[in-house]
Amino acid sequence: MDDLLSEFLTETNESLDVVDVELVKFEQEPNNAKILDNVFRLVHTIKGTCGFLGLPRLEALAHAAETLMGKFRDGAPVTQEAVSLILTSIDRIKEILADLEAAGGAEPEGSDDDLISELERLSLSADTTGEAKAEEAEEASAIDDAVDQSLERPLRPGEVSLDDLERAFREAECEVDLPVAASEEELDHEVEAEAAPVAAAPLAETAKAKAKVKEEPAAKEPTEKKASISSQSIRVAVDTLEDLMTMVSELVLTRNQLLEIVRRHEDSEFKVPLQRLSNVTAELQEGVMKTRMQPIGNAWQKLPRIVRDLSQELEKPIELEMLGADTELDRQVLELIKDPLTHMIRNSADHGLEMPVDRRAVGKSEKGTITLSAYHEGGHIIIEVRDDGRGIDVDRVKAKVLERGLASEAEMEKMTDQQIHKFIFAAGFSTAANVTSVSGRGVGMDVVRNNVELIGGSIDLRSVQGKGSSFIIKIPLTLAIVSALIVEAGGDRFAIPQLSVVELVRVQDNSEPRIERIKDTPVLRLRNKLLPLVQMSYLLGANPNATDTETKSDTGFIVVMQVGSETFGVVVDGVFHTEEIVVKPMSTMLRNLTMFSGNTILGDGAVIMIIDPNGVASAMASHASSVVAEEERKQQEEAVTSALDGQSTVSMLLFRAGSAEPKAVPLSLVTRLEEFDVTKIEQSNGRDLVQYRGSLMPLVYIDPAQTRRSEGTQPMLVFSDAGRSMGLVVDEIVDIVEDRMNIEVGSDRAGVLGSAVIKDKATEVIDLGYFLPQAFEDWFMRKEMDIAALTKKVLLVDDSAFFRNMLTPVLKAAGYDVTACQGAQHAFELLENGNQYQAIVSDIEMPEINGFEFCEALRRDPRFRKMPILALSAVVSPASIERGRQAGFDDYVAKFDRPGLIASLKDLFSGEVGIAA
């Protein structure tokens, strides 16, 4: 019984996995009779076997599920509820089976009445709705009745078998073109046999007979196929295969060793037989590998069900496409990627795909698609999980990275989106806004990555925001034997797994491609891309100074490696050949070395270390970042030393202003030194101005307490840029000195950089950057200014005198001819009086006529339909912006955002110019 039972468990579990998949398919295509037949047959077989083995609980449940499915076959409409219920029943069956296995053959206690009654209820309602096939249904129910009479409620094995027969009988009737009478006759015999006291042997017979009868109508081929397969295949314990594999691995090693020996003895008589041995070994290796190969579809079996459940749970319609399910790979690898794959599918469904509403909003079909594909590529298998969802939100990842302190803002500034995407593989990283039952618990992609790397694979990610993401896993077909490139570095040989080797490049001193250097960092220009390089010997801890002499010669080989999405070159001294190597784990003593993944014995008998590409990549990254950090530190130091500390001296202008202490400014910044007669200084708009070279030059005081002279002349420093000048009023120009500008004491005071010893006196070094904007708001932005803007007339409408006063000079400084008025009414008058303006800037919050109304009124007038009108408001919210847009404003700017106002005006005018041209 034990053997039978274990056989049953294995078979049933396999069938159940298939049922899962088939049912999901069936739900999508309720009219596909073939799928239904498949499902039905599988459940039926399970039920039949249960009855045979005396597992009443299982059998009753399977029976109820089967009955419901029978109704579908009879044409009852398939509801999602029904499919869910059947799936739940199948889950229950699985649970019972698991307990059964654990308990060594005894069915667990418990009742499935809840499910069974549900199933029966649905069956009944299916009956009533399934009137389309009234005839069959009638017959069926008639027989149901008959059976019900012969059944006692607590089901016993014998009775159950009878029930089976009945089912088969009914099926034969409903489905088939076979003469009903004939099958009925047959069945009658069986029923008679069955009626005898229950015994194992006849039971077995009836079970078989029943199976035959049942399957005949459904499909003849499967029965035959089953028979032929069972006679041609045997079950072998996995351990046996593992042992075989180990032995073949050893054989491969020995063969390699022999080949190496023969290679050294040219005319060896061993050559021919060895060649043959070699071929046979290769075939044997392949054969044994094949026994371990399984289609990747085996790892995918549970996925359709998972996706279906997720789809319901998350209320997102999801379609799972699976391509290349027959791609084969080593079962060990297969086992190891099952969980990561499931996790990734969950991730895609939960984070990747948007809600149907959002999808519709961006013009995608409501149904999200997750595509799972697998294919072979050069000794590796590539598995891709792709979704057409929202893609990865770079900003959110950035925010999360900052929050977790994984990188600084400055560091991220320099990163490409792809590099930022990679942060999702960092430990404990999850961008899901909420923790859901599906995902977002913080154990995420890092676990996936670890699992993939554990089997020598790599994971890569491509994502386009709004379009979807795609995870690409590259794993070796098998773990036991890998193809490796043997290289030499620093006098030792190393094996680099071919998986990560993209290409080999030979570099020589005077020919392309060449190793170039950015500072001391070597790079290779390869097909117009810069490839970062690193010396293998350097990575392996050799003294960098020693290798420098070698690098200087710049000849050697570059192994271009790709790990994830990182591509880099590793400079080695020599490249030998590729060899199939058997990866052996390193001893505990060496496990701490991340640079190696294992070691192996080469054909020549020597032990060689196997480079771990992931280790190289991370070493490379840390090496690079340390270089960058070093660079930055140096640069900062240099900046400090050159600009402030300065070995070189700077010409400084010393002057006094406001106080007795000398002040200094670099002479190179000063355009001229001028003295103006104090009478020439005029006051306008609350500030002092002088007429200077045909335009007004604003005067700026360093110290508010500073007073200008009342008579005579006033000295000042003139700073000019692009035709505009500012006068910095000083009391006295003291001297011009050549000295180091070594700021020793920093300053908190605005306008002062700090204090330095200049000419043996403590001197304040002033910050010109602080004063320039005091003269002209836009001093630092003016360069972008359109000269044409200078002639533009702008009408500023604001009820507040304060803002009119504040903004008028700002606009004037930006080169506009500004007319200010205190309300919409006034503005209408100005416009009616024939004043021409190129643009209107209007406040929103105004009494009587507010900005929106003002704008709407203007827009109704054909003359002002195309006039650029800008809204200015203290309140900037999406709603108010939208309101402004509706009113006809071209742009909406916050009142205090003066640069924004200037920029917006500039945009408006350049847009106008664009239309005119």
Partner 1 sequence: MSNNDNHASNADEIIQYVTVVIGGQLFGLPISQVHDVFVPERVTRVPLAAPQVAGVLNLRGRIVTAIDMRKLLHLPDRDEGSQVMAVGIEQKGESYGLVIDSVGEVLRLSSSSQEPNPSNLDKRWAEISGGVHRLDGKLMIILDVARLFSAMVEQPKAAA
202: tokens are: 């006849």
What does the DSSP 8-state code read for residue 522?
E
Contact map string, positions 237 to 256, toward partner 1, x by CB under 8 A: -------------x--x---
What is the distance of C-alpha 76 from the center of its chain?
A: 44
CB of 593 to partner 1, least distance (A): 5
Residue type, 292: R
Nearer to partner 1, 442 or 585 (CB): 585
Cα–Cα separations (whole angstroms), residue 114 to 50, 72, 121, 144, 890? 20, 21, 11, 21, 66
Q: Which of 278, 501, 468, 260 is nearest to 364 (CA)?
A: 468
- Please identify, among the stretches 132-140, 438-446, 590-598, 884-892, the one whose residues bind partner 1 according to the rule CB under 8 A: 590-598
Residue type, 61: L
Residue 590 makes contact with partner 1 by CB under 8 A: yes
CB-CB contact of 522 with 533 (8 Å)? yes
Given 592, 668, 710, 833, the residue binding partner 1 (CB under 8 A)? 592
**Given 1, 282, 593, 874, the residue binding partner 1 (CB under 8 A):** 593
The least distance separating partner 1 from the CB of residue 493, rounded to whole angstroms, comes to 8
Distances from the Cα of 225 to the Cα of 120, 220, 221, 231, angstroms: 33, 9, 6, 10
For partner 1, which is the closer residue by CB, 467 or 493?
493
Span from 379-387, 591-599, 689-697, 740-748 in contact with partner 1 (CB under 8 A)? 591-599
Among residues 128, 233, 549, 587, which is the contact residue for partner 1, using CB under 8 A?
587
- Residue 602 Cβ, how far from partner 1 at the closest point, in Å? 9
What are the CA-CA distances from residue 472 to residues 341, 451, 475, 654, 697 (Å)?
A: 11, 14, 10, 65, 64
Asked whether 756 and 662 are in contact (CB, 8 A), the reply is no
Q: Which positions ≥6 away from 435 have C-beta within 8 Å?
A: 441, 442
Buried b (16+ CB within 10 A) or exposed e, 615-624: bbbebbeebe
Nearest to partner 1 of 352, 490 (CB atom): 490
CB of 241 to partner 1, least distance (A): 22
* Host H or E run for residue 701: strand 695-701
CA dist 576 and 764 (Å) reads 68
Region from 154-162, 476-484, 488-496, 544-552 binding partner 1, contact rule CB under 8 A = 488-496
Q: Are 757 and 763 in contact (CB under 8 A)?
A: yes
Residue 571 amino acid letter: V
Closest CB 488 distance from partner 1, rounded Å = 12
Question: Are the C-beta atoms of 541 and 577 separated by less than 8 Å?
Answer: no
Min dist CB 73 to partner 1, Å, is 58
Binder of partner 1 out of 23, 334, 609, 664 (CB under 8 A)? 609
Nearer to partner 1, 434 or 592 (CB): 592
Under the criterion CB under 8 A, does residue 207 sit at the interface with partner 1? Answer: no
Selected range binding partner 1 among 300-308, 358-366, 596-604, 903-911, rule: CB under 8 A: 596-604
Query: Which parts of 107-126 interact with partner 1 (CB under 8 A)?
Result: none
Is there binding between residue 589 and partner 1 (CB under 8 A)? yes
Is residue 496 near partner 1 by the rule CB under 8 A?
no
- Residue number, 470 or 600, with CB nearest to partner 1: 600
Looking at the DSSP bridge assignments, the partners of residue 507 are: 556
The contacts of residue 77 (CB under 8 Å, 6+ apart) are 30, 126, 129, 130
| Binding residue count for partner 1, defined by CB under 8 A | 26
Tokens of 687: 């500030």
For residues 615 and 773, which CB has a smaller minimum distance to partner 1 in the complex? 615
Residue 289: count of CB within 10 angstroms of its CB: 18
Q: Say which DSSP state 767 is in.
A: -
Kindly tell me which of 378 and 541 has the beta carbon lying closer to partner 1.
541
Interaction of residue 487 with partner 1, rule CB under 8 A: no
Residue 490 binds partner 1, judged by CB under 8 A:
yes
Q: With binding defined as CB under 8 A, does residue 584 bind partner 1?
A: yes
| Residue 608 binds to partner 1 (criterion: CB under 8 A) | yes
Least distance CB 481 / partner 1 (angstroms): 16
Q: Which is nearer to partner 1, 609 or 844 (CB)?
A: 609
- Among the listed ranges 107-115, 119-127, 490-498, 631-639, the one in contact with partner 1 (CB under 8 A) is 490-498
Q: In this complex, which beta carbon is closest to partner 1, that of residue 183 or of residue 599?
A: 599
- Beta carbon of residue 87, minimum distance to partner 1 (angstroms, whole number): 46
Residue 253 or 858 having the CB closest to partner 1: 253
DSSP helix/strand/coil, 392:
coil
- Are the C-beta atoms of 136 and 74 separated by less than 8 Å? yes
Would you count residue 601 as binding partner 1 (CB under 8 A)? yes
Shortest spacing between CB 605 and partner 1, in angstroms: 5
Stretch that binds partner 1, among 157-165, 184-192, 330-338, 583-591 (CB under 8 A): 583-591
Smallest gap from Cβ 586 to partner 1, in A, equals 8
Nearest residue to 257 (alpha-carbon basis) of 679, 582, 660, 675: 582
Q: Is residue 617 at the binding interface for partner 1, with CB under 8 A as the rule?
A: no
Closest separation in Å from C-beta 596 to partner 1: 8
Instruction: Determine how β-strand 663-666 pairs with β-strand 695-701.
Output: unpaired
At its nearest, how many Å lie between partner 1 and the CB of residue 606? 5
Nearer to partner 1, 43 or 608 (CB): 608
User: Which tokens belong to 554?
Assistant: 């710049």
**DSSP per-residue codes, 172-212:** HHHH--S-HHHHHHHHHHHHHHHHSPP-HHHHHHHHHHHHH
Write phi, then psi, for 601 (nearest 5 degrees): -105, 125
Q: Contact between 599 and partner 1 (CB under 8 A)?
A: yes
Q: CA angle 603-606-612, nearest 5°? A: 90
What's the CA gap between 909 and 915, in Å, rounded? 10
Tokens of 469: 């993401």
The single residue among 595, 717, 870, 872 that binds partner 1, judged by CB under 8 A, is: 595
Which of positions 781-840 make contact with partner 1 (CB under 8 A)? none
At its nearest, how many Å lie between partner 1 and the CB of residue 584?
6
Q: How far apart are CA 771 and CA 703, in angstroms?
A: 11
The interface region with partner 1, picked from 168-176, 420-428, 582-590, 688-696 by CB under 8 A, is 582-590
Query: Is the peptide bond prior to 340 cis by the omega test (within 30 degrees of 0)?
Result: no
Q: Using alpha carbons only, how large is the chain's radius of gyration in Å? A: 42
| Pick 123 or 537: Cβ nearer partner 1 | 537
> In sequence order, which ranges of 530-658 are alpha helices (DSSP H)?
536-539, 544-553, 613-639
- What track of x and - describes contact with partner 1 for positions 528 through 567 (by CB under 8 A)? ------------xxx-------------------------
Cβ proximity to partner 1: between 590 and 639 the closer is 590
Of 295-303, 456-464, 594-602, 795-803, the segment contacting partner 1 by CB under 8 A is: 594-602
Give the three-class secondary structure for 60. Answer: helix
Relative orientation angle of helices 134-150 and 157-175, to the nearest 10 degrees: 170
Judged by CB under 8 A, does residue 862 bind partner 1?
no
The region of 49-57, 195-203, 485-493, 783-791 touching partner 1 under the rule CB under 8 A is 485-493
Neighbours of 219 (CB within 10 A): 14
**SS3 (DSSP) at 817:** strand
Task: Select 543 or 691, whichever has its Cβ closest to partner 1.
Answer: 543
* C-alpha distances out from residue 263 to 251, 274, 905, Å: 18, 11, 81
Asked if 26 interacts with partner 1 (CB under 8 A), we say no
Q: Residues interacting with partner 1, by CB under 8 A?
A: 250, 253, 490, 492-493, 540-542, 584, 586-590, 592-593, 595-596, 599-601, 605-609
